Amino acid sequence: MNGSPSSLSALRLGRSQPAASTHEASAERRYPLGLNATGILAALSLLLVVVSVLAAGAGALPIPPGDVLAILANKIGLGTGPSADSRALQYEMVLTGIRLPRVVLGILAGAGLSVAGALMQGLFRNPLADPALIGVSSGASFGASLMIVLGSLLPGFLASAFGSFSIAIAAFVAGLIVTWIVYRIATHGAQTSVTTMLLAGIALNALCGAGTGTLVLFSNDNQLRDLTFWSLGSLGAATWTTVLVVAPLTILAIALTPRMARALNAMLLGESEAQALGIHTERLKKSVIVLSALAVGATTAVTGLIGFVGLVVPHLIRLSFGPDHRLLLPASALLGATLLVAADVLSRTLIAPSEIPIGILTALAGAPFFLWLLLRSQGGAWGGSARGGGAFAGARGSASGGKGGFTDA
């Protein structure tokens, strides 16, 4: 109409205040230690490797890190060949038979739970959201209880087919079913309401809790003990078989999420804003729910309930590096893996030869940390300035009374 279309560069400039920073610093976010995003991921990867090697060496039979590395190198054909030394043989057996599957399971579980937490927080646009919100954990818990208490009623051929996996299978299936119900309740036509999903999740969590409670009522002492320990979580079930079961689902979830990072960033603005930015929001919601449910379901089925990792780890990353999902998702996976592997070392060494359930440790460390975050975010008397209060601005909206929290307006 008014000549050919042109770039908006021709727009007049606004009345910007004299900028102190624009010339000396670029507008890009500045990360701690002068690292860039790649550097941060490299540093976190290195940390994970170091912690994993140390964790593999820790236990009733300590294995020096050097030997751990040598055995690993041998395994992948880089070393000097197997040693005939009996101590070295013992090292290798302990490492490959017991320690390594446990470390690898810890890595998978920590990474899966943390990524699922980051996804949920993005989906619900609330930095305090947790993977449990969509019912997968309570569903898994109910499924596991069902199998622990009533498993003996299974027809013999089923029991022998599932064997020692029957509890894990029941937990996984029940977790997915409950998530599916939550999703169906919140979906009308082609649209899923995030708010309804949150409320339906709360209701189904309560229902599953009631179901689990009822089963407790009918359980004998042994079953009660199994139930209790299942609900406290443990990596004790780690074998190469469980690792192989958990790995595909968790790795799938972690591998697919980077493609959703930009869309999740846009989603933080709100659903309609994300749509206006060209995001298929319904497709995104579905992917996020499916991937989180698979990762959390598979992990929980094998390890039992491990709380706070999915909540706190993405939080820590956001605090330090900002909310950009392109960094948040992989960094959460790495840090979550590291923390869970470290927690597992404590769980199996602190009161050896007994084990402390890992869920106790993650809650023991995670809950106070979380409370500290809450208090800090309120500012005022508890320290931390209310405005411009540093990196924690992330949780302000929801921590202060829920305003700006769970909305899908």
Partner 1 sequence: MLELRNISYRVGDTALLDRVSLEVHPGEVLAIVGANGAGKTTLTNILSGKKTPQTGDVMLDGASIRSYEPSALARRRAVLPQFSNLSFAFTVFEVVLLGRTPHQTSASVDAEICLEAMRVTGVEHLASREYPTLSGGEQQRVHLARALAQIWHPNGDGDRYLFLDEPTASLDLAHQHHVLHIARDCAKLGLGVMAVLHDLNLAAEHADRIAIMRQGTIAALGSPDDVLTSENIEAAFDISVMVTQHPHAACPLVVAVPEEDIDLRLAREEQALNETIQQLLNE
- Which of 248, 116, 228 shows the shortest CA–CA distance to 175? 116
Residue (5 or 81) nearer to partner 1, CB: 5
Using the contact rule CB under 8 A, the part of the chain among 15-23, 108-116, 159-167, 247-255 near partner 1 is: 15-23
Q: At closest approach, how far in Å is the CB of 145 from partner 1?
A: 36
CA distance 267 to 273: 7
Report H helices in 151-235: 156-162, 166-186, 194-217, 221-232
Return the residue of 6, 152, 222, 354 that touches partner 1, per CB under 8 A: 6
Return the number of other C-beta atoms located less than 10 Å from residue 13's C-beta: 5
Q: What is the rounded CA–CA span in Å between residue 226 and residue 141? A: 12
* Closest CB 402 distance from partner 1, rounded Å: 11
**Pattern 108-127, binding to partner 1, x per CB under 8 A?**
-----------------xxx
Given the complex with partner 1, which of 349 and 407 has the nearer CB atom? 407
Among 76, 155, 157, 387, binds partner 1 (CB under 8 A): 387
Structure tokens at 248: 């595909």
Q: Which amino acid is at 44?
A: L
User: Is residue 22 involved in binding partner 1 (CB under 8 A)?
Assistant: yes
When binding is defined by CB under 8 A, the residue of 17, 80, 86, 222 that contacts partner 1 is 17
Q: Are 95 and 88 in contact (CB under 8 A)?
A: no
Does position 360 bind partner 1 by CB under 8 A?
Answer: no
**Contact status: 23 vs partner 1 (CB under 8 A):** no
- Please answer whether residues 106 and 337 qualify as being in contact, where contact means their C-beta atoms are separated by less than 8 angstroms: yes
Distance CA 358, CA 168 (A): 17
Interface with partner 1 (CB under 8 A), residue from 88, 199, 370, 396: 396
Q: How far apart are CA 319 and CA 395, in angstroms?
A: 10
Among 27, 76, 84, 381, interactor with partner 1 by CB under 8 A: 27
Separation between Cα atoms, residue 51 and residue 106, nearest integer Å? 11
Using the rule CB under 8 A, which residue among 12, 32, 85, 153 binds partner 1?
12
**Residue 137 · residue 129 · CB < 8 Å:** no
Stretch that binds partner 1, among 1-9, 77-85, 146-154, 285-293 (CB under 8 A): 1-9
Local structure of residue 22 (DSSP, 8 states): T
Q: Which of residues 186-245 bind partner 1 (CB under 8 A)?
A: none
DSSP state of 163: G
Pick between residue 50 and residue 269 the one whose CB is nearest to partner 1: 269
Nearest CB to partner 1, comparing residues 142 and 392: 392
- Of residues 252 through 291, those in contact with partner 1 by CB under 8 A are 262-263, 265-266, 268-270, 272-273, 275-280
- Residue 80 binds partner 1, judged by CB under 8 A: no
Query: Which residues partner with 219 through β-bridges?
Result: none
Smallest gap, in angstroms, from Cβ of residue 21 to partner 1?
Answer: 6
Of 390, 403, 360, nearest in space to 234 by CA: 360
Residue choice 101, 131, 151, 323 for contact with partner 1 (CB under 8 A): 323
By CB under 8 A, is residue 32 in contact with partner 1?
no
**Single residue of 60, 78, 202, 391 touching partner 1 by CB under 8 A:** 391
Q: Which is nearer to partner 1, 99 or 376 (CB)?
A: 376
Q: Which two tokens stand for residue 340?
A: 């869970």
Are residues 393 and 404 in contact, defined by beta-carbon separation less than 8 angstroms?
A: no
- Do the beta carbons of residue 134 and residue 290 sit within 8 Å? no
Identify the helix (H) or strand (E) that includes residue 317. Answer: helix 309-321
Cβ–Cβ < 8 Å for 246, 109: yes
Q: Which residues bind partner 1 (CB under 8 A)?
A: 1-22, 25-30, 125-127, 262-263, 265-266, 268-270, 272-273, 275-280, 318, 322-324, 387-389, 391-398, 404-405, 407, 409
